[in-house]
Amino acid sequence: MANKHKILVMGAGKIGVTVASLLARTNDYESYLSDIRAPHKLPEIAGNPIKFIPSDIRKTDEIKKFILDNQIEGVISCLPFHLTIEVAKIAAETGIHYFDPTEDVATTNKVYDLAKTSKGSFAPQCGLAPGFISIAANSLTDGFEEIDHIKMRVGALTPNVNNNFHYAFTWSIDGVVNEYIHPCVVMQDGERKLVPALDGYEHLVVDNEHYEAFFTSGGVGSLVESYAGRAKNMDYKTMRYVGHCEKMKFILQDMNLREDPELAKQILTKVIPHTDQDKVVVYVSVFGKKNGVLSEVTYTNTCYPLQVDNTLFTAIQMTTAAGICTIVDLVVHEKKLSGLVKQEQVSLKEFLANRFGSYYKSGEK
């Protein structure tokens, strides 16, 4: 039997645990999960348990020694975005593959710099958005000779909502606030531009459900650069139930709490609940000329929580982890990708055919 690929997952939060679990249950991977403290409970995987390794990201020499001593092939950062660059540095210095799902643009730019001289493959922004959304959008452009607008929309939502913010936290509050306050990369009239988060308000209907959408940071990934000279307009927006954006503008802009994100998070956690009952809605539209005719092609997908063995994973856990694990699989196991990996290098067909990416098939319309 072939040796298992040894993968180190840094960060034992919801996404890290899900990634380690999905990889381990294939029996092609040996999953090491590491953080400063162990999660309350790890999913049980018969015959191939996840190995928890306590570590402190500030003690990089100890982590590098562990990687080299145990012949780790790749490391995945599932830590908060402000710690991600430390994991990328460790990967570069040990010559192993690197993966992350971060939406933080400044962090990703630093990762790109490290990738230029790294021995291993570097695949930043390989989760849901950024990540899968770029794969879906890129595949929809096939056959278009002129692209007027690429629209990417994603909502991590609850099936039902009954509070004044029209929202419940289904993932990291750090990530939500971060994408609500930083400038957003878009393409307008063929030029790369930065626009304020929470601007660009629109109303849309996806599968007969009404939503609002607005600019948020990071979701577009590297697609704007990849489509320079090809697309006239491109943007990524977060979807929410109608009424949420107005409340967030009041808190972050009118009250100027975007200048104090820690206080903003303290306030929001007191009034917005957390929930594991969620859904993830994906909407992509490409508008332009196809075979000389003005055309529009759309892709929609709504994913829900999934029971895997004895563990129920939320929709945001599964969509993010499936995106990460698919790219890991293509780099480490199938060896189809190398160097600096951009999500748009993978076709939607190839992604959905992968054993991890196939999760998304459950929500396709």
Locate the domains of the chain by residue range: 5-128+312-363, 138-308
Contact, 261 vs 206, CB < 8 A? no
pLDDT value at residue 47:
81
Query: Average pLDDT, stretch 179-193?
Result: 97
CA distance 214 to 256: 19
pLDDT in tens, 120-167: 999 999 999 999 999 999 999 999 999 999 999 999 999 999 999 999
CA distance 142 to 32: 39
Query: Average pLDDT, stretch 193-220?
Result: 97
Q: Which helix (H) or strand (E) holds 179?
A: helix 173-181
DSSP state of 217: S
**What's the start-to-end Cα distance of the chain, in Å?**
39
Contact, 31 vs 49, CB < 8 A? no
Task: Give residue 309's pLDDT band: very low, low, confident or very high (50, 70, 90).
Answer: confident
pLDDT value at residue 45:
86
- Sort strands 209-215 and 231-240 into parallel, antiparallel or unpaired: antiparallel
pLDDT value at residue 40:
84
Q: Which of 3, 157, 2, 8 is nearest to 75 (CA)?
A: 8
CA distance 217 to 317: 20
Task: Give residue 298's pLDDT band: very low, low, confident or very high (50, 70, 90).
Answer: very high
Fold match between 5-128+312-363 and 138-308?
no
Of 29-33, 39-43, 76-80, the range with the lowest mean pLDDT is: 39-43
- Sort strands 191-195 and 293-303 into parallel, antiparallel or unpaired: unpaired
Query: Average pLDDT, stretch 70-94?
Result: 97
For residue 314, pLDDT beyond 90: yes
H-type helices in 99-167, by residue range?
105-115, 132-140
Contact, 25 vs 45, CB < 8 A? yes
Query: Average pLDDT, stretch 224-243?
Result: 98
pLDDT value at residue 310:
87
- The residue whose two tokens read 């018969």 is 46
Query: Average pLDDT, stretch 279-308?
Result: 97
Dihedral angle computed from the Cα positions of residues 222, 210, 180 and 166, in that order, rounded to the nearest 10 degrees: -150
Structure-token pair, residue 34: 């590491």
Write the DSSP assignment of 3-46 as a string of letters. Answer: PPEEEEEE--SHHHHHHHHHHHTTSSEEEEEEESS--S-PPP-T
Write the DSSP assignment of 60-115 as a string of letters. Answer: HHHHHHHHHHTT--EEEE-S-HHHHHHHHHHHHHHT-EEE-----HHHHHHHHHHH
Q: Which helix (H) or strand (E) holds 337?
A: none
| Mean of pLDDT over the chain | 96
Q: What percent of the chain has pLDDT over 70?
A: 99
CA distance 165 to 252: 13
5-128+312-363 belongs to CATH 3.40.50.720: yes
CB atoms within 10 A of CB 299: 18
CA distance 29 to 143: 38
pLDDT value at residue 188:
98
pLDDT value at residue 365:
73
Topology (CATH level 3) of domain 138-308: Dihydrodipicolinate Reductase; domain 2 (3.30.360)
